[in-house]
A = this chain, B = another copy of it.
Amino acid sequence: LNSLSSGLFKMGQPRLFDKSAIQSVIDLPALMKNLEKGLILYSEGHAVIPPIGFLHLNQPPGDVHIKFGYFLEHEYYVIKIASGFYNNPTIGLPSSQGLMLLFKQKTGELEAILLDEGFLTDLRTAIVGAICAKQFAPSALNCIGIVGTGTQARYQLNLLKYATDCRQVLVWGRHPAKVQDFLADPHFSDFSLKAASSLEELGFHCRLIVTATTSSHPLLFSSFIQPGTHITAVGADGKGKQELDPHLLQKADLVIADSLQQCQAFGDLSYVKDLSSIPRLMELGQWLKNKKSLTREKEWITIADLTGVAVADIQIAQDVYKKLSSLDNEGRGH
């Protein structure tokens, strides 16, 4: 039997890259630009993106997302697996895990394995957050509000360096000890961090707020939010998760969805009963494509509901692999 399928055809082995190799080729400004392009292509219908695969584990709790698809007329299709096992840090492991796979669109052959351990998913989520901050946060910004103290909250703040000059930050988390850890993180030495005593306080002081929690109930209510505020909500990426009160979304002047289909299915927008009550609702890619003819009024409350789109995974996987394979670097890929 073995001989039935071996030896008949000669195949190349896929190229394999580990996290440190992947991290060595990250060029954030270029990635930001390319992710914008990918989001535009997606909103224009130039990508094939089937529904996300979800797998839930219970003991301990873990969520696995399988996101996949391809851009029309590109070379590869991409499957990315990313998981959050939120108890991992208690045993010294990162909560994020995963990998990305590139296959040839024409033959299905596995071209490359990016053993990113969830890094590229965390990164592209934060890059999309930074893209939103650049588009929608007021230019005169006194204070950034970070809601959440986990891995993604840290990535988001880190990437905001590329979107705003503001370095004043209020941080809110459920667990005071985790807030203290966050404040002490040496990666944030550029920032001036303080703990917010409440979400109301954070809302009062911050005109850019990023929520990155695993919450299953609303954290931000419209009464907390001042005119001229932009909120990027990245936590609600699967059924049962929620960070924003539906009334806050309905009160917003502009709501941006990374994917209208996904946000309506399981994002914060999924809790809004009547989407027609939102005066302006569009996909991030639509905004980016038409931004020259669009204006965000100064007093608007704007919200970006980010569920995490496969196009961002496909784009970052392709970009990183292109860089890795352009390196004449036999030792790294094997």
| Contacts from A to B (Cβ < 8 Å) | 1-6, 8-11, 13-14, 16, 18-20, 23-24, 26, 28, 48, 50-51, 53-57, 59-60, 62, 64, 66, 68-70, 77, 79, 81, 83-85, 88, 91-94, 96-99, 101, 103, 105-110, 113, 115, 117, 119, 122-123, 151, 154-155, 158-159, 187
Taking A97-B109, A101-B81, A108-B88 as contacts, is the C-beta distance between A6 and B23 under 8 angstroms? yes
Complex CA distance for A123 and B5, rounded to whole angstroms: 10
Rounded to whole Å, the gap between the CB of A16 and the closest CB of chain B is 7
Q: Is the pair A13, B2 in contact by a Cβ cutoff of 8 Å?
A: no
Rounded to whole Å, the gap between the CB of A188 and the closest CB of chain B is 10
Q: Is the pair B110, A115 in contact by a Cβ cutoff of 8 Å?
A: yes
Q: List B contacts of A1 (CB < 8 A).
A: 26, 28, 123, 158-159
Rounded to whole Å, the gap between the CB of A261 and the closest CB of chain B is 16
Taking A81-B101, A92-B9, A103-B97 as contacts, is the C-beta distance between A2 and B18 under 8 angstroms? no
Q: List B contacts of A85 (CB < 8 A).
A: 106-108
Complex CA distance for A64 and B79, rounded to whole angstroms: 10
Query: What are 20 pairs between A and B in contact, CB < 8 Å?
Result: A1-B158, A3-B187, A4-B155, A5-B19, A5-B94, A14-B115, A53-B66, A55-B77, A57-B105, A62-B105, A64-B103, A64-B108, A66-B68, A83-B108, A85-B107, A85-B108, A88-B108, A97-B107, A97-B110, A110-B115
Quick one: which of B9, B10, B187 contacts A4, CB cutoff 8 A?
B187
Q: Is the pair B53, A122 in contact by a Cβ cutoff of 8 Å?
A: no
Complex CA distance for A136 and B59, rounded to whole angstroms: 39
Q: List B contacts of A56 (CB < 8 A).
A: 48
Q: Is the pair B64, A77 in contact by a Cβ cutoff of 8 Å?
A: yes
Rounded to whole Å, the gap between the CB of A11 and the closest CB of chain B is 7
- Chain B residue at minimum C-beta to C-beta distance from A116: B5
Complex CA distance for A56 and B48, rounded to whole angstroms: 9
Q: List B contacts of A23 (CB < 8 A).
A: 2, 5-6
Q: Is the pair A18, B13 in contact by a Cβ cutoff of 8 Å?
A: yes
Q: List B contacts of A84 (CB < 8 A).
A: 108
Q: Is the pair B26, A6 in contact by a Cβ cutoff of 8 Å?
A: no
Q: List B contacts of A69 (CB < 8 A).
A: 55
Taking A50-B53, A79-B81 as contacts, is the C-beta distance between A88 and B66 under 8 angstroms? no
Q: Is the pair B154, A4 in contact by a Cβ cutoff of 8 Å?
A: yes
Quick one: which of B53, B70, B93 contacts A109, CB cutoff 8 A?
B93
- Chain B residue at minimum C-beta to C-beta distance from A10: B92
Q: Is the pair A108, B97 in contact by a Cβ cutoff of 8 Å?
A: yes
Q: List B contacts of A8 (CB < 8 A).
A: 94
Taking A8-B94, A9-B94 as contacts, is the C-beta distance between A16 and B16 under 8 angstroms? yes
Quick one: which of B10, B16, B93, B98 contacts A9, CB cutoff 8 A?
B93
Q: List B contacts of A4 (CB < 8 A).
A: 154-155, 158, 187
